Chains A and B, each alone.
Chain A
Amino acid sequence: MRRLFVLAIFISAVLANGQTPYQTPVLLTTGGQSADGLFMKNVLTKEGIEFQYKPLATVADLDSAKTLIMVIGGSSKGLGAARISAEDEIARMTALLDSAAAKRIPVIAAHLGGKNRRGSLSDPFNDLGVQKSNHFFVVKGGDDDGYFKKRTNVRKIPYLMVDKTADLGAPLKQLFTKPAGE
C-alpha cells in the first residue's frame, strides 16, 4: 500500500513535470564488470534508445548523459579482463552513483545474470547498485531468495522481475517514453 502511495507521488511528480525523468542519452555501464552489460546493450539497441556503452565509465562520462543504467553482478573473469580489482570497481561504482545523485541523473539498476551473478563475489556490487538506484529490474533466477525484493521494499523504489532479459524491452521503452497528455 505504502509503495503504491509512493509510486503515485512519483508518477504525479512526473506528470506535473510533464515528462519522464528518464531521458536519453543513456550512459550504460556495469557494476562488477560482468559481460551482462552487453545484454542491456542489445535490448537498448533493439528498442532504439540512444545510449553509450562504457563498462568502465567514470564520473566524467556522466556529463553527456541524462540517465545512468548500471548492470550489476560481479565476474572474476570480467574484473580480470578489465584489469581492475573488486575494491577499485566498488570505488568506481560509488563515485559514479554519488555523482549521478548530485547531478539529479536518475539511475536504473538491473541484475540480468541469474544465480551466477549472486554470492560472495557479486553481492557487494549488487548491494551497492540496488542501494543507490531509482529503479530496479531483475531477471528471474537472480532473486530467488528475495535479496533484491527486500532492499527495494526498504528503499521504496520500483521493482520489476522479468522472465528473460529480452522481456526488459517493453518496460524500458515505457520508462523512456514521455507520458501521454503532454
Chain B
Amino acid sequence: MIRKLVILALLSAACFISGGMLLSQHQDETLYPTPSLTKRMMLSDYFSVLRGGDGDTEVFEYCGDEGGGTVLILGGTHCDEPASYLAAYLLIETLDVQRGRVLIVPRANRSALTHNLQGEGHPQTFEVETLHGKRSFRMGSRYTNPLNQWPDPEVYLHSPSKQELSGSDSRNLNRCYPGRADGTYTERVAHALAELIKQEKVDLVIDLHEASPEYPVINAIVAHERAMDCAAFAVMELQGQGLEYSLEPSPQNYHGLSHRELGDHTNALATLMESANASQGRLRGRTDAQLVVTGRDKMYTRAAEIEMTRVPFGLEGIPLDIRVARHIEGTRQLVLAFNGLNAGKEVEFGGAPTYAEIVERGFGKFMHEEN
C-alpha cells in the first residue's frame, strides 16, 4: 500500500511539473512593431467565428503615404520552421512602408506554436542574441495543437478537391486551404486567411516556410502559375546576388497548399519560400536549441557527403541568421519583381536589413525591444 502511494505521489509530481512546462508554451512572445505600423488587427476581424480562440491571431498593417498594391506575408504556418516566423517578427520590428501596404500575419497557425510535435524531441524555446541581451522564442509544431482539434480522422479528405491525405494533415494549415467556414479548427483558420486576402484585396501573398535539407524543394520559391513571371524575376535577381534559389511551379494535382488554393480561389498572386532547416529533418543528430539556432549538424554533413541533401551542408551548417536573411531578401525581391510587372500597384518599403547585414551581424541585432 505504501509503495503504491509513493509511486502515485512520484507520478503526480512528474505530471504536475511536466504539465507546467507544457502550459508555459501558450504565452505569445511580445513583439515591438515600428512606428510605421498603422493598424493592429485580429484575424477574427475577417471571420468572427475565430474571435477569442487559440486560432485568432494578430494581423499587422503597415500603410505607406502613397497608394499602391497590398502584400501579405505569412509566417508561422508551420511552427517548427522558425525562420518563417522570425523573418515576420523582424519585418514587424524594422519595417517602414512608403508606398502601398504590407500586411503581416507572423503566427498564421497560432495554435501550432503552443506545443511540440510528439516524438521529435524539439526544444520548447531557443534564444537569440539582441542588442538588449538574449531574447527567447518558442519552437512550435508543424500541426495544430490536438487540444484545439482532435481526434484526427484516419484519412483526411481535403475540401473541395476530395484529395486523400494522412489524418494528421487535417491539422496542417498548409494542406487546409482554401478552408471551410464550417470546417475543422484548421480549416476555419485557412478560411479566415482566405477571407483576409479577399476583403483586403491582397495582390501578392508570400508564405514563408522551411524544409528539411533532404527535401527536394528547398532554397526555392514555389509559385502559382499566375505568379510565375513575378517569381522568375525575383529568383533571377536573387541568383544574381549569388544566392542559390530555384523556381518551382505549384503542382496542379496537389491540393490544400497555399500557392495552389490561394492562387485558384483568390485574386492574389500566391508564392511560397523554403529555406533549409536541419532541426526539422529526419537525418538530424542531437536535437536541441543549439541546433535550431546554429543549424550545425554532423549527421547532415555526413548526408551531404553521400549526396542525400539538396543543399550544400558543410560543418558550418545553415544558421538561423542565413535562413532569416534569405526570407527577408526573398521577400524584398518578390515585391520588387511585383512592382516591375504591376505599374500603379507598387509597394515600397525600407527599414528591413539587407541580406549581407543580417548575415554579418545576426538578425537579433536588428530587433527592437522598445520604441
Contact = CB atoms under 8 A, between A and B. Distances in A.
Contact of B229 (A38, A78, A115): A38
Contact of B236 (A77, A78, A115, A165): A165
Contacts, number: 72
A81 B250 contact: yes
Nearest to B228: A38
A103 to B, nearest CB: 29
A85 to B, nearest CB: 13
A83 B253 contact: yes
B107 to A, nearest CB: 28
A39 interface: yes
Contacts of A165: 236, 239-240
B244 A114 contact: yes
A135 interface: no
B232 A39 contact: yes
B249 interface: yes
Q: How large is the interface on B (under 10, 10 to 19, 20 to 34, 35 or more residues)?
A: 20 to 34
Contacts of B237: 166
B232 A38 contact: yes
Contacts of A155: none
Nearest to A33: B249
B252 interface: yes
Interface string A46-84: 000000000000000000000000000001111011010
Contact of B252 (A80, A114, A119): A80
Contacts of A78: 248-249
B217 interface: yes
A80 B216 CA distance: 14
Q: How large is the interface on A (under 10, 10 to 19, 20 to 34, 35 or more residues)?
A: 20 to 34
B236 A39 contact: yes
Contacts of A38: 228-229, 231-232, 247
B330 to A, nearest CB: 15
Contacts of B225: 81
B233 interface: yes
A81 B246 contact: no
Contacts of B244: 114-116, 141
Contacts of A76: 216
Given A78-B249, A114-B244, A116-B246, A35 B232 contact: yes
B239 A164 contact: yes
A178 interface: no
Nearest to A43: B236
B235 interface: yes
B249 A77 contact: yes
Given A38-B229, A42-B233, 7 more contacts: A35-B249, A75-B248, A78-B248, A80-B254, A83-B252, A117-B246, A119-B307
Interface of B: 216-217, 219-220, 222-223, 225, 228-229, 231-233, 235-237, 239-240, 242, 244, 246-254, 307, 310
